[in-house]
Amino acid sequence: MILITGGAGFIGGNFVHHWFERRARLGLPAEQLVVFDKLTYAGNPLTIKPLLDSGAATLIQADICDREAVRQALERFKPRAILHFAAESHVDRSIHGPGEFIQTNMVGTFSLLEEARAYWNALEGDAKAAFRFLHVSTDEVYGSLSDTDPAFSETTAYAPNSPYSASKAGSDHLVRAYHHTYGFPTLTTNCSNNYGPYHFPEKLIPLMILNALDGKPLPVYGDGLNIRDWLYVRDHCEAICQVLDKGTLGEVYNVGGINEIRNIDVVTTICRKLDALRPRADGQPYESQITYVTDRPGHDRRYAIDPTKIQRDIGWSPAESFESGIDKTVRWYLDNTEWISTVRSGAYRDWIATNYADRQA
């Protein structure tokens, strides 16, 4: 039994699918997943509905800040590992309202660590030795790079620049402290920008796909030259599986896609894919919808991950190039209109209006 926080979100939901597909592919015995998710705006049970319906996965709707709910889940299901995906993760939202990020990412992680440590302390023998707590984090804790700086490694000093990244940095430090102070068996992964199926459409790639199809402007912040290292979400899921199996306790592993791409190039690539797969009725290219808007405050210029450690010590490398991954992603959004309609609620539309209404072209 594995317990996954945030397992109905973007990366967590993809992980749930990947977990069962991987075990079937490798001929591994079935192992149930328990998804512990608050089901906020970005959590969608439809993402994992087939696995919930089959009984392979179980959903508990609860907040990681609710220690009693966490305690009851651990006592009931007795997991051999906790995979901690749950987080508020959108930089723009953290700028508008940082309080929720501190509460979920720091207080929530503390609450989860406390209950997990108590649970682990009560285990005995092989069960205690085998238990793992894997914390999923982000490259944004390292701050911003110039065009000539080396990529982030596991020894790069933390320098978070947004309320979101600061809250994730705080959670990373808590996880580290619980290992070094209490001997709690932790693993941490810091990933670059994920993309792929089931991505909530406020983020860059799904926003561009859906705005393009709706005939809306494609808002690009600033000059569009900010660089991110793009990681296909299923590659990330595989990395987490391998770190869970082979990672050294207390260690951090950076997971990168080895795909440094400027934001504007991401957008034009999506436009070209859509030109080929779903041409506009008027024959015009989707690139004509691109609009440059006022940059967000404190926008980090460049992120890049050096994945040498995970490649050397774990044996993981990304399977997808950006070209292959973005093709799969665009096709998924074209083919899954039902999922899209369920997440584009009134609350989502209100948020988009709040974030973009005052940005000058």
Catalytic (active-site) positions: 139-140, 164
CA dist., res. 57 & res. 49, Å (int): 9
Are 63 and 69 contacting, i.e. CB atoms less than 8 angstroms apart?
yes
Are 251 and 175 contacting, i.e. CB atoms less than 8 angstroms apart?
no
Name the β-bridge partners of 227.
262, 302
Sequential DSSP letters for 280-294: -TT---GGGGEEEEP
Sequential DSSP letters for 316-334: ------HHHHHHHHHHHHH
Sequential DSSP letters for 123-189: --HHHHHH-EEEEEEEGGGG----TTSPPB-TTSPP---SHHHHHHHHHHHHHHHHHHHH---EEEE
CA dist., res. 4 & res. 79, Å (int): 10
- Virtual torsion, Cα 255, 258, 262, 266, nearest 10 deg: -90
Closest CA to 56 of 116, 120, 7, 9: 7
* Exposed / middle / buried, residue 356 (Cβ in 10 Å: 0-12, 13-18, 19+): middle
For residue 321, give Cα distances in angstroms to 37, 198, 253, 271: 31, 19, 20, 18
* Exposed / middle / buried, residue 98 (Cβ in 10 Å: 0-12, 13-18, 19+): middle
